[in-house]
Amino acid sequence: MNQFDSSWLGLTAPLNVVAVGGILLLLFESFTIGRGAPAGAAGTHGGAQDDRPARRGAGSLLGHPRAFLATVSLIVLALAAFLEVSVWNTVTAPQVIYRGMLVVDRWSVFLGMVFIVGAALSVLVAGGFMREHRFEFGEFYALVLFSTTGMLILAHAADLVTLFIGVEAMSLAVYVLVGSWRHSAKSSEGAMKYFLVGAFASAVMLYGIALIYGTSGTSSMLALAEIGRPGRPPVEVLGEPVFLVGCFFLVTGLAFKVAAVPFHMWAPDAYEGAPTPVTAFMAAAVKAAAFGALVRVLATAMSRPELTFGPSGWAVVSAVLATLTMSVGNLAALRQDNIKRMLAYSSVAHAGYLLVGVTAMAFAGAEARGPILYYLLGYTFTTIGSFAVVAWYGSRDDERQHIDDWAGMASRHPAAALAMTVFLLSLGGIPPTAGFFGKFYIFRVALSRPGLGWLVIVAVANSLVSVFYYLRVVSTMYFRELGREPTPIQSPGMVGSMFLAALGTLVLGLIPSWLVELASQATMFLAR
């Protein structure tokens, strides 16, 4: 495996396609649309300029100047999805490529599909949103693709160094996306917070990786998984305090990225400030990527029982994080009047439910990874759908994020209200939706091993609390009289995104068996 093998390119084809697609989009933006008009690049996002006929020349399927770029990015994502399917069929067993840097297995392919779905749905929402709010810029799509590239690297990472590169590639693009809404002060504030905390988290993570490398002599997760075997670091490493601190820092860095309490402080501000399509992208795809990495690290690099169990093992840490994340997320969401912020806290809470699955993985191993994958996909549809409705409902002068602005919405827009109800019920875990089945699936594996019953009870109690604030929105939409006339954004992309997300949420809830089958095939890892 010392020689470069051209088949490696084929195995990482989706990653390559997305990366190249991102670069091409960036070049295209610079050389055509951006030329002579600094609107896209320099910050004078005047709507009038965007509407100039000359700038329509780039060709548009959806009828506005930068729709062409959106279309291209959707085509790139569709191609990547198609390639993921072929890679899925190729890798019946995990394959390590690029000299131990990347691993291609069905786990990473499944996660890749989750990212692609998330990115595609967000891109659909973004076009109309940016046009309405007059900050349309073509790099948006390139940045989404770059971020997706980072996520794919993260999903494939077999070495802590590639893991770090993936995290950084993903995060850097998202920092820019969060701050891209330049005439919104909240957007800048959110970006600043997210960037500072994110950079700090990255530093902590990198420091942890350095400590692990310094004590064990390797940064390969596969080597760390086989500590004590011939040619691998000796068992004594596991007792080394510096090594343990390194592991702790690494997990802490990832906990920042998944926004687990108490490392969640940035999330509400970043989520609220970011342009809503970006919020959707962060809440779904970025979270899924971070969870994918967390699971991979815990299940390979830290799979030794010495690191898993015991008072300082990650099983305990994860259980504590899960409890805190669920409870704080839900209790904070309970008292939000801003829907976007409420959904931000709800997204924190959902990280908690996922951490229940991660905790169960300590006991149940690969069996717990199917539920996590299922939950991530279901959550991606649901959460992007809900943010899509939020993005769609507000207009430029009137963002309509306060819950009172939603009063009587169902009487004007019954279909959108129905879609929002489906998303909220799914977030609350009420059947027949993806959210219910995902929770059931996670609870099932958690209860199948003794000792986690209490965590499931905590999760159930939290679900109950969450239903209260989700239903508050439903009640407002359906039970109250219409307030000001709603002026939603006219955008076929947004409507399509809502429809697809609702469809996905219901299909995953009603006929989950095929996905359960796929998810269980995707749990094979190297090691353990």
Partner 1 sequence: MTFDSSLLLFIVTFLPLLGAFMLLAMPREEENLHRGTGLAITLITFICSLFLIPDAATAKAGTWSAVLDWKWIEGLGIHFKLGLDGISLFLVLLATFLMPVVVLSAWRAVTRKVREFIIALLVLETGMIGAFVALDLFVFYLFWEVMLVPMYLIIGIWGGDRRMMASIKFVLYTLTGSLLMLVAIIYLYVQHHQATGVWSFDYDNFRNLVLTTNEQVWCFLAFALAFCIKVPLFPLHTWLPDAHVEAPTAGSVILAGVLLKFGTYGLLRFAMPLFPAAVALAAPYLTVLSLIGIVYGSLVAWSQTDVKKMIAYSSVAHLGFVVLGLMAWNGRAVDGAMLQNLAHGVSTPGLFLSIGVLYERRHTRRIDEFGGLWAQMPRFATMFLIITLASIGLPGLSGFVAEFLVLLGTFDAYRVWRDTGMPFMFGHPKVAGAIAATGVILGAVYMLFMFQRVMFGPNNNPKNKHLPDLTAREVVVFLPILLGVFWLGVRPTTFLDHIDPAVRRTLSQFQQKYAEAPESGKTPRMLVDAPNPAQGAGRGPGQAQPAGGTQGVP
Nearer to partner 1, 160 or 467 (CB): 467
Give whichever of 320 and 471 is closer to partner 1, judged by the CB atom: 471
Q: How far is the CB of 371 from partner 1 (least distance, A)?
A: 10
What is the DSSP-derived secondary structure letter of residue 32? I
- Please say which residue, 128 or 512, places its beta carbon nearer to partner 1: 512
Question: At a CB cut-off of 8 Å and minimum separation 6, what does 171 contact?
Answer: 150, 198, 202, 257, 286
Q: Is the peptide bond before 262 cis (omega within 30 degrees of 0)?
A: yes
Q: H or E stretch including 103?
A: strand 102-104
With binding defined as CB under 8 A, does residue 235 bind partner 1? no
Residues 399-418 contacting partner 1, CB under 8 A: 414
Rounded Cα gap, residues 220 and 173, in angstroms: 26
Closest distance to partner 1 from the beta carbon of 374 (Å): 11
Binder to partner 1 among 78, 235, 464, 482 (CB under 8 A)?
A: 464
Neighbour tally for 208: CB within 10 Å: 23
- Using CB under 8 A as the binding rule, whether residue 507 contacts partner 1 is answered as no
Q: Whose Cβ is closer to partner 1: residue 196's or residue 460's?
A: 460
Contact 456, 443 (CB under 8 A): yes
**CA-CA distances (angstroms) from residue 454 to 315, 417, 451, 461?**
14, 36, 7, 10
Is the preceding peptide bond at 371 cis, omega within 30 degrees of 0? no
Q: Does 440 bind partner 1 (CB under 8 A)?
A: yes
| Of 10, 100, 431, 496, the one binding partner 1 by CB under 8 A | 431
Q: How far is the CB of 524 from partner 1 (least distance, A)?
A: 15
State whether residue 100 is helix, strand or coil: coil
Residue nearer to partner 1 on the CB measure, 459 or 501:
459
The residue range among 17-25, 288-296, 311-319, 424-432 that interacts with partner 1, by the rule CB under 8 A, is 424-432
Out of 96, 99, 444, 483, which residue is the one contacting partner 1 (CB under 8 A)? 444
In degrees and rounded to multiples of 5, residue 61 shows phi and psi of -85, -30
Count of CA atoms in the C-beta half-sphere (13 A) of 248: 11
- Shortest CB 411 distance to partner 1, Å: 8
With binding defined as CB under 8 A, does residue 423 bind partner 1?
Answer: no
Among 432, 487, 503, 527, binds partner 1 (CB under 8 A): 432
- Closest-CA residue to 325 (of 355, 359, 284): 355
Q: Which stretch binds partner 1 (CB under 8 A): 17-25, 50-58, 140-148, 513-521?
A: 513-521
Please report whether residue 443 would count as binding partner 1 according to CB under 8 A: yes
What is the residue whose two structure tokens read 């840097």?
A: 101
Taking the least distance from each CB to partner 1, the nearer of 429 and 488 is 429
Contact assessment for residue 119 and residue 148, using Cβ atoms and an 8 Å cutoff: yes
Which region among 205-213, 236-244, 461-469, 485-493 touches partner 1 (by CB under 8 A)? Answer: 461-469
Should residue 517 be labelled a site residue for partner 1 when binding is judged by CB under 8 A?
Answer: yes
Q: Which two tokens stand for residue 263?
A: 């490392």
* 350 makes contact with partner 1 (CB under 8 A): no
Query: What phi and psi values does residue 357 have, to the nearest 5 degrees?
Result: -65, -40
Query: Smallest distance from the beta carbon of 442 to partner 1, in angstroms?
Result: 10
Nearer to partner 1, 397 or 481 (CB): 481
3-state SS, one letter per residue, for 477-510 = HHHCCCCCCCCCCCCHHHHHHHHHHHHHHHHHHH
436 binds partner 1 (CB under 8 A): yes
- Site residues for partner 1, 130-159, by CB under 8 A, read none
Token representation of residue 20 = 């190249």
Residue of 460, 482, 484, 492 interacting with partner 1 (CB under 8 A):
460
Q: Min. distance of Cβ 79 from partner 1 in angstroms? A: 30
Quick one: which of 85, 242, 265, 447 contacts partner 1 (CB under 8 A)? Answer: 447
Tell which positions 178-217 bind partner 1, by CB under 8 A. Answer: none
| β-bridge mates for residue 97, sequence order | 102
Is-contact 26 85, C-beta < 8 A? no
Minimum CB–partner distance for residue 439 and partner 1 (Å): 9
Of 315, 331, 306, residue with least CA distance to 239? 306
Quick one: 134 or 449, whose CB is closer to partner 1?
449
192 vs 506, which CB is nearer to partner 1? 506
Residue 229, Cβ neighbours under 10 Å: how many? 11
Two tokens, residue 366: 């690969």
Among 207, 309, 478, 499, interactor with partner 1 by CB under 8 A: 478
At residue 159, the 3 state secondary structure works out as strand
Q: Does 482 bind partner 1 (CB under 8 A)?
A: no
| Smallest separation (angstroms) from partner 1 to the CB of 260 | 23
Pseudo-torsion of CA 248, 251, 253, 256, nearest 10°?
-120
Residues at the interface with partner 1 (CB under 8 A): 414, 425, 430-432, 436, 440-441, 443-444, 447-448, 453, 456-457, 460-461, 463-464, 467-468, 471-472, 475, 478-480, 512-513, 516-517, 520
